Amino acid sequence: FDLNGFVFHFHYAVDLFFIISGYVMAYSSYYAPKSFSFFEFFVKRIARLYPLHLLTLAMMLVYCWISQKQIPSILVIQNLFLIQNLGLGQSNDLLNFPSWSICIELWLTTFFLVLTKSIQSKFKITLVLTLVFLIPLILAPGLVLNGNYEDTVYSLNTGLLRGLSGISLGILLYL
C-alpha cells in the first residue's frame, strides 16, 4: 500500500500478531504461576479461536454455494479441523483466507506449551527458542520475510515458518 511515497506493508501485521501472541502466551500460560493441564489449555484455545472461525467458514461456504463455486471436500475438512495451513496439502486455495493465521496460532501455541513445559532450564529453553526463531529465517529468508503464507520450503508451509519465528521471538522477549 503506497500513500504519497510512504509504503505500508500490512502483511507484516500478522508477524506482529505472532510475536505479541508468543509474549502473551508466555505471560499467561507458559510461565504463569497457576498450573493447568494440557487438556485445559487446549480446550481454552479452541473455545477462544474456533467459534469465530466456524462462523466465518460457514459464511464462506454459503457464499461459495450461492456463487456456485466448486469446493474440494479436502479443503472443507482441513478448514473444519483448522489444519489448512500446516503444510499438509495445497494451501493456496484457502476457503477462508484469514484463517490461515488462526490455524498456525492454534497449533503452534499448543506446540510451544509442550516445549516450554518440557524444558525447565531457562538457558536451554532460550537456546531452543533461539534456534526455532532462526531456522525458518535460515531455510527461506526471502519467503518468510516477504509476508507469504502459501509457498513451501522442504514441504513446510511458509505461514508455519512465519509463525514459528514470530511466536518463538515473542516468548524470547518475555524471558
Q: Of 165, 168, 127, which Cα lies nearest the Cα of 30?
A: 168
Q: Of 3, 14, 96, which Cα lies nearest the Cα of 55?
A: 96
> What's this model's pTM, rounded to 2 decimal places?
0.81
H-type alpha helices, the chain: 13-25, 38-66, 73-80, 99-118, 122-139, 141-145, 158-174
Q: Of 59, 55, 98, 95, which Cα lies nearest the Cα of 79?
A: 95
Summarize pLDDT for 69-120 with one digit per residue, the tens.
Answer: 888 888 888 889 988 877 665 555 667 778 888 988 999 999 999 999 889 8
Summarize pLDDT for 2-55 with one digit per residue, the tens.
Answer: 555 555 566 778 888 999 999 999 999 888 888 888 999 999 999 999 999 999
- Secondary structure of residue 2 in the 3-state scheme: strand
